Amino acid sequence: MARIIVGNPHATPGIIASVIKANDLTAPVWVQFYHYLVNVFHGNFGTDTMYHVPELVELKTYLPITLELVVVGQIIGVLIGLYTGAIAASNRNRPADYGMKALYLTTWSAPIFLVGFCMQLVVAYWLNLLPATGVVDPVLHPPPSVTNMPVVDGLIAGNWPYFWSSLQHLILPAFAIAVIGFGLVTRLERASMIDALDRDYVKLAYMKGLSKRTVVWGTAFRNALIPIITLVALLFAGSVGGAVIIEDVFAYHGMGFFSVQAIFNDDYTAILAFTTIVGISVIAANFVADLLYAAADPRVRLT
């Protein structure tokens, strides 16, 4: 469907005819779709209509950057969520609980770009702690690309200035992703912690004379962890969506930034490739979550 978009109003009839021939546009839509699917399964996402390079090359350059950002952001977000959720549950209906609720309802409701702007303003410009924009300091010589993830590449090559600089650039956007996502984790963790704290084994732990700290973090926390795994996979889709905006705000040149450029260039192969890849990675995340779930809870059997 996206093929209908007209890119260049000055195209001559000859060019149009050749484009139609090259892209097989006279075929019915479902035949075109079939060809596209076959190509995708061969790892061929078509040629970028803007930069005239295979789409796979673009994906290889930009996807790892976003992946690194989202995964780090997600880990930070889940840690914050678990911690705040456990605190809220163990202080149920006390000020700490209401405070946590106010915190996550606010971060939930804040637009993603506002979170990014506020972080840039306070941490980068007022306090001068971290760089505000970019993936890495542009004057540094990049190490040979192995994974294309800047931090990991710097680590592998032992290029410490590069590693340090890319890590510093990663912190703010990753935290922004964490902030928008942690509320859901807090909420579910609170509910499942409350459930766990009411169980008999928690009462037994108290009766054995263990301190509240040991009971909350040692006994109940571990049992409340299980439902979180499924949520993390669900959250992954939201984080990738958020990364599109975050990358725009922080000029973090990853997949999201690239796809926004693609939208304005009417670069349909890039948009399709991006959407397909995101869909695949979200399904993969769900699959990994199912496996982890079985690993965490011995009662679940994979058949």
Partner 1 sequence: MGVSDVLDHFMRKPIRAAGEIAIETGSTSGQAQEVKQGLRFYVEYIRKDRPALVGSVIIGIFLVFALIEGTLQELASYLGPKYAYLGWVLMPSNPLALSFRTQLLGPSLKDFPNYIFGTNFQGQSIFSRIMYATPHDAVASLIVVGSAIFIGMFMGTAAGYLGGWVDEIMMRITDAFLALPAIILAITISVLIGGGFTSLLVALMIIWWPTYARFFRAQALTLRNKGYVEAAKLSGSGWPRILVKHIIPNSVDPIIAYATLDMGTVILTYAALAFLGIGVSSGYPEWGAESSAGLQFFPQQWWYSIMPGVVIAIVVVAFTLAGDRLQDLIGGRITY
The binding site for partner 1 (CB under 8 A) comprises 1-2, 105-106, 108-114, 117-118, 120-121, 124-125, 132, 184, 187-188, 191, 226-227, 230-231, 233-234, 237-238, 240-242, 244-245, 248-249, 259-260, 263-264, 266, 271-272, 274-275, 278-279, 282-283, 286, 293
Question: In whole angstroms, what separates CA 166 from the centre of its chain?
Answer: 18
CB of 294 to partner 1, least distance (A): 12
Q: What is the CB-side half-sphere exposure of residue 294 using CA atoms within 13 A?
A: 8
Between the alpha carbon of residue 51 and those of residues 21, 42, 54, 67, 263, the distances in Å are 20, 21, 9, 23, 14
Cβ-based neighbour number of residue 83 at 10 Å: 17
Which lies closer to partner 1 via its Cβ, residue 109 or residue 303? Answer: 109
Which lies closer to partner 1 via its Cβ, residue 12 or residue 109? Answer: 109
Cα angle, residue 54 at apex, residues 20 and 257 outer, rounded to 5°: 105
Give the N- to C-terminal CA distance of the chain in Å, as an integer.
40
CB of 28 to partner 1, least distance (A): 18
Residue 41 CA to residue 294 CA, distance in Å, equals 29
**What residues does 54 pair with on adjacent strands?**
47
Residue 124 CA to residue 128 CA, distance in Å, equals 5
CB of 240 to partner 1, least distance (A): 5
CB of 238 to partner 1, least distance (A): 6
Which lies closer to partner 1 via its Cβ, residue 56 or residue 237? Answer: 237
CB of 185 to partner 1, least distance (A): 11
Which lies closer to partner 1 via its Cβ, residue 115 or residue 205? Answer: 115
Which lies closer to partner 1 via its Cβ, residue 108 or residue 164? Answer: 108
Which lies closer to partner 1 via its Cβ, residue 159 or residue 269? Answer: 269
Select from 166, 153, 240, 227 the least CA-distant residue to 195: 227
Cβ-based neighbour number of residue 268 at 10 Å: 20
Question: In whole angstroms, what separates CA 57 from the centre of its chain?
Answer: 21
CB of 110 to partner 1, least distance (A): 5
